[in-house]
A and B are shown apart, each in its own frame.
Chain A
Amino acid sequence: MARSPSPSIFRPKQGVDQSVIADNKKLVQAIDRRGLLRGSLSLGALTMLTGCNVSDTDTMQGFLRAISAFNDKVQEAIFRPNHLAPTYSADQVARPPRFNAYYDVEDVKPVDGATWKLELAGLIQDRRPWTAQQLYALPEEEWIIRHICVEGWDYIGQWSGVNLGQFLKRIGADTTAKYVSFKCADDYTETLDMATALHPQTILATKYAREPITDPFGFPLRLRTATKLGFKNAKWITAMEVTNTFIPTFWSKQGFNWFAGI
């Protein structure tokens, strides 16, 4: 890559020597191929369909995650960057929105808006951090859109905040980069593909139903995009990085599909 490496809050200051990967490229690829082969052979084991702990073995996960990565590509290919998700009227909005995180609502640790900052990193010209006050003063845009959870439930929510694409331009981000990654106060991590980050209905939300979002729903700043499953909408964001290097996300590390488009 021609770009000079930029400091990342997601990675250690001392990066891995890239020559190690280059020198062993063949080996890395060979391991991957063996995993696929073993995985397809293990399909034979499916004739014993009981309980099925087979899913959790390294071999099977290697195979199923390779398919999931293929499905990422399919989803990228069919993504319509300018197609707007249906919008709804204010009287259809759920109040309050439905809570979801990788822990219960009682365990939410509120973020102090007065000391909170949004850190910026990666392929961004102006990486000065933003305070809540500065962010809340930016021009807002509102979307009343459907939130769809990977589990199958949904609700209509009314979200407002700065358009992510416009914010990226404002800070001089390289919008030809592949990813926009987020880091959250609860150690959650999320990575969006650039096409989704630039979708007209992707915003850094600061308000719900025209009131500042409350603690359980991501105060002071959360992501809200109309084209992804619920879990992609990172809450309590503390840092954002524009990068060409994929940063694994909280749920993708556990086997959920990364792209998770809807």
Chain B
Amino acid sequence: MSNSFTVKSTRRHRLHPATLRALHWINALAMILLIMSGWKIYNDEVLFGWLHFPEALTLGVWAQHGLQWHFFAMWILMVNGIVYLAYGFSTGRFRRKLVPIRPAEVVAEIRKALSLKLAHGDITHYNAVQKLLYVGVMLVIVLQVVTGWLLWKPIQFSEAVALFGGFQAVRLIHFLGMAAIVGFLVIHVALALLVPRTIRAMVTGGPLVDGTSAAPAE
């Protein structure tokens, strides 16, 4: 280390490095394929009589196409997801951007959002609600992968299926996980559209940031 300037300049990077951006958009594609094909599969034997997904929003002409897409996109989601988790942990991105999550801050941010006073001048730092939603959706996706495998192979993994309360219980949990992800997507996309700079940043990388600095309080 010759001087502090060199150290600083070598550690500066885009808010969203290219690897992260690729992982984000591949995940988005896989998730959309999974949701739309999942709706096709659901429509063949619904869990709730009042709920059929519009055929125009489903993927495939017949049920077998929905199944084909689902069991293709699951590989994209899993491989991409494993790389994403490895990247997030190994680069320290998760540690820098997603923790800690303080309950008091979450409450304060929700109050601000409801009174339409949400601050979004600085897109390089996530507020407590954002952190909670991002960590939450990651955990739900992991749960979706687990329940997805159990639905696909309920006999090979019969011990785990029993822990979840049986085949139909796993099916319901997988459905609720989808509902949570769709809920996240609606909020995520709505907020991104509200602050278009965030979308540009996820495409082009956004501002240069110092990778080693601790996050400022606000």
Contacts and interface: CB of A to CB of B under 8 A. Distances in A.
Interface of A: 46, 49-53, 55-56, 64-65, 67-68, 71, 75, 78-80, 83, 85-86, 146, 148-154, 226-227, 251, 254-257, 261-262
Contact of A67 (B47, B60, B61, B72): B72
Nearest to A145: B155
A77 to B, nearest CB: 11
Interface in B27-68: 29, 32-33, 36, 41-42, 44-45, 47, 56, 58-65, 67-68
A80 B156 contact: yes
A150 B47 CA distance: 14
A85 B158 contact: yes
B68 A55 contact: yes
B204 interface: no
B62 A257 contact: no
Contact of B171 (A152, A227, A256): A152
Given A49-B32, A55-B65, A83-B156, A71 B71 contact: yes
B156 A255 contact: no
Contact of B44 (A56, A71, A151, A154): A151
B61 to A, nearest CB: 5
Given A79-B156, A256-B67, A52 B45 contact: no
B94 interface: no
A49 B59 contact: yes
**Secondary structure class of chain A's binding surface, majority of residues:** loop
Contact of B68 (A64, A78, A80): A64
B12 interface: no
Which 3 residue pairs of A and B lie closest in terms of their CB atoms, listed nearest first? A151-B45, A55-B65, A255-B64
Given A71-B71, A78-B156, A262-B154, A46 B61 contact: no
A243 to B, nearest CB: 25
Interface in B139-174: 152-156, 158, 162, 167-168, 171
A150 B59 contact: no
Given A80-B156, A86-B162, A146 B71 contact: no
A255 B64 CA distance: 6
Which of B29, B58, B155, B167 is most buried by chain A, counting CB atoms within 10 A of its CB?
Answer: B155
